[in-house]
Amino acid sequence: MVYARRLDGRKFDEMRQIEAKVGIIKRADGSAMFRFGNTIAYAAVYGPRNLYPKFLQDPSKGILRCHYNMMPFSSAGERVRPGGSRRSKEISMVTKNALLPIVNLEEYPNSVVDVFIELPQTEAGSRCAGICAASMALADAGLIMKDLVAAVSVGRVDDRVVVDLDYSEESYSGIVADIPIAYLPTLDKLTLLQMDGIVPKETLMEALKLGLKACMKINELQKKALKQKYITEGVEDAQ
């Protein structure tokens, strides 16, 4: 089959409209919002703070906990059941693993850093939006970090390699493969690579190349959002 053009009119290497903001939840130590089209993720960071009960503490380093949750009314597909699920636990785990390489937890012994990710609206790409938001929220919290994590989904729809699949493409009746990735631009490392579907090796490599290029654009937007917050605060303090 031939996927001649994307259903929403985008180019094959074009992401949906993206938006990033930081410092949006006042009572959190750090917070951020990241949006891919109609998929919106909010992240709030609390910590580092003492970990209790004490037997869970590690005197050599702190620990990172991630909590991912899609609100019941958020999905473009079936209604999400409230409460924890197998999927939310799996995405919480991969989010944590994607973020662990950037945080210097050795600087925070016996402590915990909690990251809460909430999605009030989703239309595919939710784990990638959550990772992008969480990365910015950690930076906003002032943690010592090695890099920012940028994440995006790439994949195959019939014979075409595309970036940032939306719900209509994920549920497309033809051949579909969805490949979420997370990337550290400064360190040039992948911290997440999953695949739902089957693709030839050559197609996978082409998709990864497209995804890394998109992640570089996302990283620039993340940095711009962080800088903008402190420029704005500096202006307000001067007034």
236 versus 30: the higher-pLDDT residue is 30
- Token pair for 233: 């605060």
Res 159: pLDDT: 86
pLDDT tens digits, one per residue of 36-88: 999 999 999 999 999 999 998 999 999 999 999 987 666 655 656 666 678 88
Instruction: Give CA–CA dist 148/141, Å, rounded.
Output: 13
Beta carbons of 98 and 190 less than 8 angstroms apart: no
CB neighbours of 132 closer than 8 A, spacing ≥ 6?
20, 34, 41, 149, 150, 151, 218, 222
**CA 84 from centroid of its chain's CA atoms:** 19
Res 81: pLDDT: 64
pLDDT tens digits, one per residue of 168-192: 888 888 889 999 999 999 999 999 9
Where does 18-231 sit in CATH, by number? 3.30.230.70
Res 236: pLDDT: 59
Res 83: pLDDT: 63
Q: What is the pTM of this model?
A: 0.91
234 band by pLDDT with thresholds 50, 70 and 90: low
Average pLDDT, the chain: 90
pLDDT tens digits, one per residue of 81-125: 666 678 889 999 999 999 999 999 999 999 999 999 999 999 999
